[in-house]
Structure 1
Amino acid sequence: MSKKKHSFDLIIRVIIAIILGVLVGLYLPPIVTQIAYTGASLFSEWLSFVIPLMILAFVTKGIADLDEGAGKLLILTVILAYASTLIGGSASWVMASSIFSNFITPDLAHTIQETSTKGLESLFSIGLEPIIPVTGALVFAFMMGLCISVLRKKESGKVLYGTLNDFYDMINLVLNKAIVPFLPLFILGNFANMAYAGSVFAILGIFWRIFLCIIALHLIYVTILFIIAGLYRGQSPWKWIKNQIPGYMTAVGTQSSAATIPTNLECAKNNGTTRQVREFVIPLCSNVHMPGSMITITACSYTVLMMYGMPNHYSLLLRFIMILGVAMVASPGAPGGSIMTALPFLPVIGIDSNGTLASLLISLYIAQDSFGTAANISGDNALALMIDKIYHKHIIKRAPNPEDIV
């Protein structure tokens, strides 16, 4: 219940921050807006300092953990999960490039771009710099993760892995206590400045349309995954979709894949997925299978790029999607965890990781985070059904016994 309350409170606080930011920018003296924007700018410096540490903690641990229980089942699960995540992001780009131009017109984009230059400057900065560049952090994280994974297979590296776990817990604590709670203030300051500049209503008018498009694609994509599973297994998928409703609603409420694992395991059991497969695949996929989050992040990123007249072609977004498909592995279970993991890689598509555009992206994403999580975990059960068939047909080469499902 605490996770559900926490995620709901964050969404409410973000909405309140947007409303207060608009009111401050429109009706209070400019100095108040400038103070609020200065606070947002200082927070962005703090965020830029923590981002490389997040990469070291989350990406390293995600890769190091992937070799637990290594074998054909692991390889099969990771390949299908990564492919599904990439397809989800690509489908999101197709949707965005086909539909979003209907309500992000050139005139509207020009208005947003023109007014964005009229905002106020921060009163001061503290010059806090990251201790390691983002690219260096990513390379080091991959190197460390792979090496720890190999050492663990050789019954070595226990101290290093334990240290990694402690560092992961520390950065997760920083994220939960010193970043996520202050996101509404970051958003308030940026929206106050946008309201002062005159672009905020054009942006908000776009947001709700994007919201509806993304949720529709989530539902379509998950339904397609279950249909594919049904075709492969020679069974009707509609019962599975009905069985998934408790898992979907739990994820919407908790906004956490990890918190939904017990419910999702029960859904998998009701689907007839064998115990060995579901107890391996469902927890693993909660960390490596992120099509819902990828759909949301891709669509939100495309929206921001289009509003500000920046390149948004598929080859550019594909690089971002491919990197993020790996980086989001073991992303924190806190609300907004996936978008926080994505921040370091926004420069790949030309967005500053800690600027106003990042604030817009965070705002748009968090409002839909619970639905992205629900799509993630629903897709996990569709993959589990496919993997269950492959496992018994091609890996152990025997049909499941009735007791395998209990």
Structure 2
Amino acid sequence: MNPSPSLLLKRLLHTSLVLQIFVGIVAGILLAVLAPQWAINTAFLGELFVGALKAIAPILVFVLVAASIANQKKNTQTNMRPIVILYLVGTFAAALTSVIASFMFPSMLELQTSQQQLMPPQNIVEVLHTVLFRLIDNPVNALLTGNYIGILVWALGLGLTLRHGTDASKQVFWDVAHGLSQMVRFVIRFAPLGVFGLVAVSVAKTGFGVLAGYAHLLGVLLGVMLFIALVVNPLLVYIKIRRNPYPLVLTCLRESGVTAFFTRSSAANIPVNMALCERLKLHEDTYSVSIPLGATVNMGGAAITITVLTLAAVHTLGIPVDMPTALLLSIMAAVSACGASGVAGGSLLLIPLACSLFGIDNDTAMQVVAVGMIIGVIQDSAETALNSSTDVVFTAAACMAAERQQS
């Protein structure tokens, strides 16, 4: 006897969230193929889900970081230094790997005209200038605009000040932080519906044919990202924890990377990553700071995008590249990526900056940005999945390494 639809639905609702999201992905693709117009009408589901995550993430980060710092006991080890080192090394390794892959499998572009009216930064000083002023942003404006660098600075300052406050004041912040965490769990339960809407609209509007012309470029981008996710990151984790890194890496890719792939925003995925860190039983004082920090500076995927697309333009124009210049590109891409915004397409505007290293004019560089936007339905999703899942991977690795040293 076959089970009734209501029974199947009840069983599905009691399965893991990852399986529910997978069902949402398959259902979204089927709806887009069979009824494209209906699929487009489901856009509000994805917009509501991503909007809810983006709405709660800034205040969650602010309160949780402040509460963690305020309630932190003296001489508590937060492991932030090794995490930051992993972030920086991982981002540079991603850029360097991209250079090697681009030389091994050079991509060619069709560069003609561009109608983009975007304003990219002109030099590395401008990027650093922007980052510096984001540090001292008005705290209310930082919360309203999702400026996580500014949010972190003000939350750290408030938390350090509250360490000298009364226990009652500290407890209020702690209770609010946990209340917000419960709200996040509620929002995340709607991820299957949100992902269903995002997938349905994306496939219905763009299809898969538009990507065929850029299959080689996409292959290089995705190949490098997979290599970083499945080879380089596990190697860095193994160096830290001295045991098989793949259970941790695959868990983070499955539970963080999947949602990040469809939300296409590291900032929106912060609540998802914090919930995952809690399930992994990591130190709250550590991940409450490292996860929002990673959404801002841990940008290996962005470094890959900047490097591969820049060198594709270089190969197309026949510009010779020597190894010192390639190394300089890796450094520039890594530094620039740390200044990329944690929103969809945030890394593309940094491509003209990297192109300027080879004397490529801004009009031509903006054509490369346009190519990035065409393939962005896949490229940006994979980039965000790599960036966001790596935040948890490196945070967990540092916490596990600390536990190994203490035992």
* Aligned 1:78-117 pairs, distance under 5 A: 78-100=84-106
For this pair of structures, how many residues does the alignment match? 273
1:338 is matched with 347
State the distance in 2 between where 1:295 and 1:141 align. Answer: 22
* Aligned 1:89-168 pairs, distance under 5 A: 89-100=95-106, 134=123, 137-138=126-127, 140-141=129-130, 144-145=132-133, 161-162=137-138, 165=141
2:249 is matched with 241
CA contact (8 A) 1:281 1:384 kept: yes
After TM superposition, the score normalised by the length of structure 1 is 0.55
% identical equivalent positions: 18
CA contact (8 A) 1:287 1:329 kept: yes
Distance 1:252 1:270, change over 3 A: same
1:253 is matched with 262
State the distance in 1 between where 2:279 and 2:321 align. Answer: 42
SS at match of 1:259: coil
Letter in 2 for 1:375: L
Q: Does 1:302 find its partner at 2:308? A: no
State the distance in 2 between where 1:213 and 1:129 align. Answer: 26
Q: CA deviation at 1:91?
A: 0.5
Q: CA deviation at 1:171?
A: 11
Q: Does 1:211 find its partner at 2:218? A: yes
Q: CA deviation at 1:393?
A: 6.4
1:369 is matched with 380
State the distance in 2 between where 1:312 and 1:206 align. Answer: 26
Distance 1:271 1:73, change over 3 A: closer
2:296 is matched with 287
Distance 1:235 1:265, change over 3 A: farther
Select the residue among 220, 223, 236 that pairs with 2:227.
Answer: 220
Deviates more, 1:241-250 or 1:163-172: 163-172
Q: Does 1:328 find its partner at 2:317? A: no
2:399 is matched with 388
Letter in 1 for 2:215: W
Deviations 1:138-184 (A, max 9, x none): 46447x55xx96xxxxxxxxxx6418956994999xxxxxxxxxxxx
CA contact (8 A) 2:241 2:404 kept: no
Q: CA deviation at 1:277?
A: 2.3
Distance 1:78 1:164, change over 3 A: farther
* Aligned 1:55-74 pairs, distance under 5 A: 73-74=79-80
Q: Does 1:319 find its partner at 2:328? A: yes
After TM superposition, the score normalised by the length of structure 2 is 0.55
State the distance in 1 between where 2:103 and 2:394 align. Answer: 28
CA contact (8 A) 2:261 2:382 kept: yes
Select the residue among 245, 263, 271 that pairs with 1:262.
Answer: 271
Distance 1:238 1:305, change over 3 A: same
Letter in 2 for 1:384: T
Letter in 2 for 1:308: L
SS at match of 1:351: coil
* Aligned 1:5-44 pairs, distance under 5 A: none
2:41 is matched with none
Distance 1:390 1:237, change over 3 A: closer
State the distance in 1 between where 2:81 and 2:240 align. Answer: 19
2:196 is matched with none
CA contact (8 A) 1:243 1:271 kept: no
Deviates more, 1:278-287 or 1:205-214: 205-214
Deviates more, 1:215-224 or 1:90-99: 215-224
SS at match of 1:337: coil
Letter in 1 for 2:301: G
Letter in 2 for 1:208: A
Letter in 2 for 1:284: L
Deviations 1:29-88 (A, max 9, x none): xxxxxxxxxxxxxxxxxxxxxxxxxxxxxxxxxxxx9xx97x984443333212211110
CA contact (8 A) 1:264 1:381 kept: yes
Structure 1 residue runs of 5 or longer lacking an equivalent are 13-64, 123-127, 150-159, 173-202, 400-406
CA contact (8 A) 2:309 2:368 kept: no
Distance 1:278 1:367, change over 3 A: same
